[in-house]
A and B are shown apart, each in its own frame.
Chain A
Amino acid sequence: MGGPVWVTAVNLVIWTGLVLWLLRLDRRIRELEREP
């Protein structure tokens, strides 16, 4: 048991990166929604 560490690391980087990017996008959209 115990998969290759590098595959775990790559997956963590990809998915964490996506979540962070979505959080940033969410913040930007909220700003745009507030604009008159």
Chain B
Amino acid sequence: MAAVIWAAFHWAPLAAGFKGESSRILFFHVPMAWVSFVAFMTAGVQSARYLFGSRTPQDAQLDRSAAAAVEIGLVFATLATVTGAIWARIMWGSYWNWDPRQSGIVVVLLYYAAYEALRQAIADEEVRARLSAAYGVLGLVVSPFLYFVLPRLGFSLHPEPVINAQGKMEVEARMLTVLLASSSGFTVLFYWMHSLRCRLGAIAARRLEEEN
């Protein structure tokens, strides 16, 4: 991580067409957005495994795993939104422009905030797990649409994504190296945080069981 940070600020060249040093935020903004997508997909897959599985008591772990992925995904999606807004202020003159990609991330945040609200609203553990799993599975369709389809439907101020509409990567080699290293680092960080959150959830569940 330290090497990636150093490379992002001192080794990677500045991108053409970006004001000042603003392109360096790309090495954090893109991986954060990527990790939030990975998190929501993880939540969707774990939800599907819960919903279509045998639903034994052990499957409660799948429910906790989906919930943990959404929690961490929301943190990374918020960070991606904030870093994107900072970059937008430098490049476009204002923090918020209702660009399709900005609108898309707002809907993503609202969608998964509603997931959290749903979980908080239901006291019965099994009903909560079943309903939030159904909602999480729907996210497998909603998230790819909001991340990859919606921003391409109309005019967008947002720069070409790393893999452009022609399916090519037109990024300078050193920038791409740092970007891939950063994305990998953030992905590992996500799965580490996710595993810690799941283990904490399992301990809390065990304690609750012992109390009852």
Residues on A lying within 8 angstroms of B by beta carbon are 1-4, 7-8, 11-12, 15-16, 18-19, 22, 25-26, 29, 32-33
Contact = CB atoms under 8 A, between A and B. Distances in A.
Contacts of B8: 3, 11
Interface residues of B, number: 20
Contact of B9 (A8, A22, A33): A8
13 contacts: A3-B24, A4-B9, A4-B21, A11-B9, A11-B28, A12-B5, A12-B6, A15-B2, A16-B2, A19-B1, A22-B192, A26-B196, A33-B199
Interface string B1-39: 110011011110110000001001000100000000000
Q: Across chains A and B, which 8 residue pairs bring their CB atoms closest together, nearest first? A: A3-B9, A8-B9, A11-B5, A29-B199, A15-B1, A32-B203, A2-B10, A3-B21
Interface in B164-195: 189, 192-193
A4 B5 CA distance: 12
Given A8-B9, A15-B2, A26-B196, 15 more contacts: A1-B11, A1-B13, A3-B9, A3-B10, A3-B21, A4-B9, A11-B5, A12-B5, A15-B1, A22-B192, A22-B193, A25-B196, A29-B199, A33-B199, A33-B203
A29 B200 contact: yes
Contacts of B13: 1
Contact of A16 (B1, B189, B192, B200): B1
Interface centre among B2, B9, B11, B21 (most CB of A within 10 A): B9
